[in-house]
Amino acid sequence: MSVKRTKYLKKYKEIDAPGLDAINERELEIYGNQEATHIATAIPYEMGGNDPLWAVEYFKSEEQTTHLHYVTLGYTNLFYDAECADDKVNGFGFEITFRHLPIAGDPEKPLWAAAFLQNIAKYVWKYQNGFDEYHYMSAGGPFRPKTASDITAFVFTIDSEFEELDTPHGHLKFLQLFGITTQEYQDIEDKKYTAKELVEKHKKTNPLLITDLFRK
């Protein structure tokens, strides 16, 4: 038995959630005592539920401009699992974050973003195909249903606040999803510029890469 696994067994019990605790500690560093709005999955995926992620939660951020900051929970191993103690990479190796401007007419607890992030998870679980920095993908339409938006694709970059994290189950990246227009997606496909170049361009005026669904 490895040294790491021996220490793990001594430190944690089956009722513990070492991976989740590590993420919560990072959230505490960024948001202090602000309590996240927690949108839990009703029926676990392994028990026949439709949503692969354990939960999606969000914070209200006043950095740069008022926005909502979502964090997924479930691409990584959250709960006690001694088999993961020696892993260098935690689960898929990432959790996804997403920042968007408040939208007039949204309810107090906007569920569309959580549903959108769960739909991305369904793709990952179906094809066992994870993401990394500067990967990009079409969403097949607006992120928010029944919304006149030209933000129909997205690119990933490292979340500038949450960054990366070592957990008892291995390393993970907080990959921030940034919404891009249909034309920007096509321009990347046509190699007019790279996903990285597009991200760096937007960072000049939007350092936190907050998605505006009505950006043209």
pLDDT in tens, the chain (216 residues): 899 999 999 999 999 999 999 999 999 999 999 999 999 998 988 889 999 999 999 999 999 999 999 999 999 999 999 999 999 999 999 999 999 999 998 999 999 999 999 999 999 999 999 999 999 999 999 999 999 999 999 999 999 999 999 999 999 999 999 999 999 999 999 999 999 999 999 999 999 999 999 999
Q: Which helix (H) or strand (E) holds 72?
A: strand 67-73
pLDDT digits (tens, 9 = 90+) for 88-121: 999 999 999 999 999 998 999 999 999 999 999 9
CB 165 within 8 A of CB 172: yes
Q: How many CB atoms lie within 10 A of CB 204?
A: 7
Beta-bridged to residue 73, according to DSSP, are: 55
Sequence-separated (6 or more) residues with CB below 8 Å from residue 193: 187, 201
Longest pairwise C-alpha distance within the chain: 56
Report the C-alpha gap between 75 and 126 in whole angstroms. Answer: 13
**Residue 52 is encoded by which pair of tokens?**
């692969």
Report the C-alpha gap between 201 and 189 in whole angstroms. Answer: 17
What letter does residue 92 receive in the DSSP assignment? E
Helix axes 182-189, 195-203, angle to 10 degrees: 140
